[in-house]
Chains A and B, each alone.
Chain A
Amino acid sequence: MNKRRRVLVQGRFWKTGLVAMVLVLISCGALGPGPDGEVALETARPAEQSPTAVPTEAPATATPSPTEAPPTATPSPTDVRPTATPSPTDVPPTATPSPTTAPSPVPTESARLQAVTSAEDVQRVDAAAARELVETGQGMLYDTRSTNSYASLHAAGAVSFAESEAAGRLGELPTDRALIFY
């Protein structure tokens, strides 16, 4: 009987002590409602749990950070290599089709002029331009009419080059200047 009373009395003291503690905390503002109520609770909890919880939680929070860092560092090199290796493999395919599209010969001006096949395709020059070429020494004037026609009248400075004699006199023509025929 005495033990039961002691337990009950001790329980009543424990309850009253607990209520008193709560009232003290409320009066201090640690548990009271207010604008800073949530912050006060967060700051108060570590203070209450510091004797038991801090030693266990502190190492727990410190260890994960070093363990998480390596996993992020290791995947990065593996991800970079796959992206670097495909590039050399992609280059050859792009280089091979280019030769197929490359052969597109563009006719040059000289090639076009060499393709002259009729008298109408031969370049024409007027009298003024022909005279300038002759006077500057850049061209020679040739009279392709008969020798008799040439003897009767011809342009000053012109050389007789009769069509009937042309085949055997091609070697006389200079190759370093313009040849003007009339």
Chain B
Amino acid sequence: VALRVISQGFVAQNVYVLKGGLAAWQSAGYAVTSGETP
């Protein structure tokens, strides 16, 4: 998705990929939740 965003003209300098995905976020102790998009 990130590559597609960049190819659509978004500045690559502003596009990142979270290293390790949701697992890394959760293992770092940061909050996770469930449910639909607010």
Contact = CB atoms under 8 A, between A and B. Distances in A.
Contacts of B34: 151-154
Given A170-B10, A177-B14, 15 more contacts: A113-B11, A125-B17, A126-B18, A127-B18, A128-B28, A130-B16, A130-B25, A153-B22, A153-B32, A153-B34, A156-B30, A160-B36, A178-B16, A181-B5, A182-B18
A31 interface: no
Secondary structure at the A interface, as helix, strand, loop or mixed, is: mixed
Contacts of B13: 109-110, 113, 123
Chain B interface extent, by class:
20 to 34
Contacts, number: 128
Interface of B: 1-6, 8, 10-22, 24-28, 30-37
B3 A123 contact: no
A126 B30 contact: no
B24 A126 contact: yes
Given A182-B22, A182-B25, A119 B2 contact: yes
Secondary structure at the B interface, as helix, strand, loop or mixed, is: mixed
Contacts of B31: 155-157
Interface of A: 109-110, 113-114, 116, 118-119, 122-128, 130-131, 139, 141-145, 150-157, 159-161, 163, 166-167, 170, 173, 175, 177-182
